[in-house]
Amino acid sequence: MKAQQDQLVIYNSLKGEKEPFVPMVEGKVGMYVCGPTLYSEPHMGNMRTFINFDLIYRYLLHLGFSVKYVRNVTDAGHITNSAGQEVDSIGVAAKAEQLQSLEIVYKYAVKFQELQRVYNMLPPSIEPTATQHIQEQIEIIEQIITNGYAYEVNGSVYFDTRRYMQDYNYGILSGRKVDELENETRTLNAQDEKRFFADFALWKKANPDDMQIWRSPWGNGNPGWHIECTAMSTKYLGKQFDIHGGGMDLKFPHHEDEIAQSCGSFGCNPARYWMHANMLNVNGQKMSKSFGNYFLPKQILDGTTGLFEKSYSANVVRFFMMQAHYRSNLDFTQEALNASEKGYARLIEGFKTLENLPTTTSSFDVAALIGSFYKAMNDDFNAPILVANLFEAVKQINLVKDGNASISADDKTELKAAMEIFIHEVLGLAPENTATETRLAPVMDLVLDLRQQARTNKDWTTSDQIRDGLAKAGIVVKDGKEGTTWS
RNA sequence: GGUCUCAUGGCCGAGCGGCUAGGCACCGGUCUGCAAAACCGUCUACAGCAGUUCGAAUCUGCUUGAGACCUCCA
């Protein structure tokens, strides 16, 4: 397994190129991913990022790394809105739903947990929340002030971007130049307290109508949005760790500001590899709350998205996502979803077929095939190539089944183990739930037995009546070469 | 307005200078009482125009189109 670790290459957003992955401590990986803000239910686009990092987490685990995967939950913090004002989005949601802030957070945390389970995502090593780490945030802010990169104004604390730029490169991740930014910024409202337009809030003085407030050396207030990630990643992974991930849309300003905060307090970039997952598109445009073109993960499971005429299983949705690279945009369309549904069924069917294959000698290179699975994933987690290679395996399996190819017993065992690993463990496609089928099986055996009797007697009327009746109940009967099956 | 990214066959998507993924759909075939399913085969695309090269979907320039970020967003 060590050899496979050595070959892993990751695209580092910080450098804009792929580079060999070398963890700080051999065999161990520290990974931080920006999680959801719990002021509403996560939509499908949000899920794509988490599913992609779940894939990355799973593959790192499979390679034998000891991974500490930290994904935060934002349950407090003031963000900057379009008017340039600091806003507590959770408090706003709480007022709208006439609940307390923590009720809002809890409500959506429960839903998010449920979604993780449904989409077969491995739980992170820890899911810290911002409210549990106010003290740590305050301490880092104090350190930044001590280092001279932040200043207090009227109970609020701002990051001093101009001062910072004298010592560090603000824009190292996003490639932005601050002097250009100034001219580009469309409006500059409500920024009287800031010394410079690019300064951002580390701590914001409490408003009279804030639902959550905390004590600080600067008076009662709220942490800024960016500081929580710095506090939590530092606490659980150290001042510098291996991988920092998140959605592409967090690159600027969120991740840029995280780097500034870490450099401003500890003097180093928090992560050596920055990874950014791309967006999910609907009709060619990014799925987003503000565009209103979003649907919820549960809606696609029960067919109520209003966009597609049918429902799809979580495995199909996940498989669909795995057919696109995490750094590419992905378009959700009816036709593509249908394609994935059939392709997924074919893959699983092929894997099942492998089990009952006769063995002689191998007519194809099984070791090379398995090697291609690793090669794909080692190349910056290229899941679509992995899927293509899995289909190559399915093709060979079917050839063997039809007697047009052969496989040795040892190769069969190896291939079965490898496919099991890559389909279930790495891609995270959950084994199908057969609970209902086990109850139904004896009944179906009886029904199909009766139908077979009718068929033997050439009583097509009865035979077809049974088939049509079952079809209405959602059970499809297939008359194969070696008997009748159903699903 | 600024910065950046991307344009691949009917659809979704890999590809990162030569060996022209993969899935689905279509079409043809095998099987079958019929049907469905399954399996096999087929289909050869890289927005346009120039250029670099022995050779370009892949590199360069221009044109056109789309998107992201600059505000909260995964």
Spell out the per-residue pLDDT of chain A, length 487, in tens.
Answer: 556 777 999 999 998 889 999 999 999 999 999 999 999 999 999 999 999 999 999 999 999 999 999 999 999 888 887 667 788 899 999 999 999 999 999 999 999 999 999 999 999 999 999 999 999 999 999 999 999 999 999 999 999 999 999 999 999 999 888 776 665 444 444 457 888 888 999 999 998 888 889 999 999 999 999 999 999 999 999 999 999 999 999 999 999 999 999 999 999 999 999 999 999 998 788 999 888 889 999 999 999 988 888 899 999 999 999 999 999 999 998 899 999 999 999 999 999 999 989 999 999 999 999 999 999 999 999 999 999 999 999 999 999 998 889 999 999 999 999 999 999 999 999 997 665 567 777 888 888 889 988 988 888 899 989 988 887 777 778 787 667 877 7
**Cβ of residue A339 lies below 7 Å from strand B:** yes
pLDDT given at position A220: 95
Distance A181 CA to B1 C1' (A): 12
Nucleotides of B under 7 A from a protein CB: 1-4, 10-15, 21-25, 31-41, 66-74
Q: 3-state class of A203 per DSSP?
A: strand
Question: Please, what are the domains in chain A?
Answer: 10-277 (3.40.50.620), 281-426 (1.10.730), 435-486 (no CATH)
Rounded CA separation A41/A59 (Å): 28
How big is the CA angle at A16 (ends A125 and A250), to the nearest 5 degrees? 50
| DSSP letters for A385-453 | HHHHHHHHHHHHHHHHHTTSS--BHHHHHHHHHHHHIIIIIIS-PPPPP-HHHHHHHHHHHHHHHHHHH
- Give the end-to-end CA distance of chain A in Å, rounded to a whole number: 38
Rounded CA separation A210/A193 (Å): 19
Q: Measured in whole angstroms, how far is the alpha carbon of residue A355 from the centre of its chain?
A: 31
**Cβ of residue A460 lies below 7 Å from strand B:** yes
Distance A402 CA to B38 C1' (A): 11
Q: Measured in whole angstroms, how far is the alpha carbon of residue A192 from the centre of its chain?
A: 39
Q: Which nucleotide is nearest to A11 (CA to C1')?
A: B16
pLDDT given at position A76: 86
Which residue is closest to B21 in terms of CA–C1' distance? Answer: A388
**Cβ of residue A335 lies below 7 Å from strand B:** yes
- Is this complex's ipTM strictly greater than 0.90? yes
pLDDT given at position A190: 46
Residue with tokens 């139904």: A440
**Cβ of residue A463 lies below 7 Å from strand B:** yes
pLDDT given at position A278: 96
In this structure, what token pair is assigned to residue A27? 């065999």
Rounded CA separation A50/A19 (Å): 23
Rounded CA separation A328/A326 (Å): 6
**Cβ of residue A173 lies below 7 Å from strand B:** no
Q: Are residues A351 and A326 in contact, defined by beta-carbon separation less than 8 angstroms?
A: no
Strands A221-223 and A201-205: antiparallel
**Cβ of residue A161 lies below 7 Å from strand B:** no
If we measure between CA atoms, which residue out of A116, A121, A128, A123 comes closest to residue A73?
A128
Distance A254 CA to B48 C1' (A): 38
Chain A residues 282 to 321 whose Cβ lies within 7 Å of strand B are 284-291, 294, 320
Chain A residues 424 to 453 whose Cβ lies within 7 Å of strand B are none
Rounded CA separation A211/A88 (Å): 9
Encoded amino acid at A259, one letter? I
Distance A387 CA to B59 C1' (A): 30
In this structure, what token pair is assigned to residue A24? 């700080």
**Cβ of residue A18 lies below 7 Å from strand B:** no
Distance A389 CA to B37 C1' (A): 24
Q: Give me the torsion for CA of A362, A365, A366, A367, rounded to 10°.
A: 130
Q: Are residues A207 and A223 in contact, defined by beta-carbon separation less than 8 angstroms?
A: no
In this structure, what token pair is assigned to residue A405? 């190819």
**Cβ of residue A97 lies below 7 Å from strand B:** no
